[in-house]
Structure 1
Amino acid sequence: MRTKTTALAAAIALGAMLTGAPPALADGEVADVGVSLNAASQGLLRQTVILTGTLTNYGPSEASETQIRFTYPAQFRLVDAADCAANTETRIVSCNLGTIPVGSSASTQIRVKAELLTIGLPVTFNASRSFSLPPEDGNPANDTASDSCVAITSLLVSC
């Protein structure tokens, strides 16, 4: 299914390049916006985790007003979420990524830090497509992603 979706998105993108205009959005059009997430530990003692969330538009329509939502476990606290709305009580961070043309991607990062007493625990971070126009999605199965790390101690997180 991914091959057909990617081929269709490429054909639409090529048509838009040749005509000089993006495809117009109309009622019933869909944009398959997929989500990926990468967690990477950082720092001398590796207690900070950088979460990189990416939205990719597989088409066939341009996606606008796109948003990605991160969630992180209770054993972590938010350090940085520039240009994003964060609720530290629910551990949800929402970021606007704007318009994503067919065949393109947009990414953002947040940083979280392990709290004390985070020992020997596997931890999972999540990201999801929280909004885009058109709202119809041709493949809702790729609307969420997760990545895991192991908190060996609160000072050493391995991703």
Structure 2
Amino acid sequence: MTALLAAGALLGSGFVAVAVPAATAAPVRAAAPVAPVAYIANSESDNVSVVDTATDAVTATVPVGDVPSGVAVTPDGGRAYVTNRGAGSVSVIDTASNTVTATVPVGDGPFGVAVTPTGGSVYVTNFLSGSVSVIDTATNTVTATVPVGSLPNSATAAPGGDRVYVSSGAAVSVIDTASNTVTATVPVGSGPYAVAFAPAAAASADIDVDVTARPSVGILVPYLTYTLTARDLGPSAVTTATVTATLPPGATATGLSPGCTTTTGTVTCVYGAIATGASASKTFRVPLHLLSLGTVKVIGTRTASSPADPNPANDSASATCTVVSILLATCT
């Protein structure tokens, strides 16, 4: 689970520098800056400085409203939203031209600002109105006003985009972004001023590989049956896994389970989803003939899986059969 941190200083100062992402991921409406830049709200100059982070030089100065205090950039890097605390508005800066293309009226004393991860909505804290204005970025209009605690200052969108956390008074208001209503109020210390999320731990799934064998002799076509088992030891569920069996020289494989293929000397089996604590098995046969006498050892190894496997120690196992004749074989 993602951890939430609330602090009283630096993380959410009213004069914010925000780096614009490079224009590589999400589709952009206009040509956003190729190199990352930063937008700095200058509260006493009533403008925004644009800094090229490659050279750390100011490349543009954009006039905005009275007492700009917060700034946030859309995920595609196309626009910067600036709260004008003294004007009760939000200036929308087009990052390709570094000009203000829209001014959105909001509540009294807009201060903090957050853009949802999809870029569809902007949440603005109205410090003197005790509310949060929700701006639709497609139309740059306010579509909802959410009452929160007194003197709201910072707003931070959760990584999943389903909630926005707003610090105010002595509590944090949790806004559900689907309904734009406060679904929880979390009491914290006096004067909360900033909210930040610690990244969730990456998912991982430890796959334990097991190989077993049993002989089927005394029949017209004797064979050894090998079973490849992938067991998910957690902590996350497996979405996909591949186990490859290495056969002894000269051995072939038949009777493969669905999802398994064979090439010279190997059998590769692909597994689908495996729940934590569960296992999945696939089988194949190694036919016996006079040249099979002796030891028939098969080694099974996890060769790929998702999510990542944090423990390679149990990624491989083997089973050995001793063939005395086509009528007698033992497996361990």
TM class, shorter-length: 0.7 to 0.9
Task: Name the SS for the 1:125 alignment partner.
Answer: strand
Letter in 1 for 2:302: R
Structure 2 partner of 1:158: 330
Structure 2 partner of 1:15: none
Could you state the TM-score of these two structures normalised by the residue count of structure 1?
0.73
Cα distance, 1:28 vs. partner?
A: 2.6
**1:127 matched to 2:303:** no
Task: Name the SS for the 2:313 alignment partner.
Answer: helix
Is this contact kept in 2: 1:70–1:125, CA < 8 A? Answer: yes
Partner residue of 1:72 out of 232, 247, 251: 247
Identity of aligned residues (%): 32
Is this contact kept in 1: 2:271–2:280, CA < 8 A? Answer: yes
Is this contact kept in 2: 1:114–1:155, CA < 8 A? Answer: no
Structure 2 partner of 1:13: none
Structure 1 partner of 2:283: 109
Is this contact kept in 2: 1:75–1:115, CA < 8 A? Answer: no
Cα distance, 1:149 vs. partner?
A: 1.0
- 1:79-125 deviation line (CA, Å, top 9, x unaligned): 211321110x2x21111110111111011111111232233x22211
CA distance in 2, matches of 1:48, 1:27: 46
CA distance in 2, matches of 1:118, 1:108: 23
Letter in 2 for 1:125: V
Letter in 2 for 1:36: D
Instruction: Mark the runs of 5 or more structure 1 residues left unpaired by the alignment.
Output: 1-25
CA RMSD of aligned residues (A): 1.9
CA distance in 2, matches of 1:123, 1:47: 14
Q: How many residues align?
A: 130
Stretches of 4+ aligned residues off by more than 4 angstroms: none
Cα distance, 1:134 vs. partner?
A: 1.0
Structure 2 partner of 1:3: none
Letter in 2 for 1:99: A
CA distance in 1, matches of 2:326, 2:269: 27
Structure 1 partner of 2:233: 58
CA distance in 2, matches of 1:32, 1:144: 12
> As a proportion of its length, which structure holds more helix?
1
Give the 5 Å matches for 1:87-98: 87=263, 89=264, 91-98=265-272
Greater gyration radius: 2
**1:86 matched to 2:262:** yes
Cα distance, 1:48 vs. partner?
A: 0.7
Structure 2 partner of 1:144: 316
Cα distance, 1:154 vs. partner?
A: 4.2
Instruction: Mark the runs of 5 or more structure 2 residues left unpaired by the alignment.
Output: 1-199
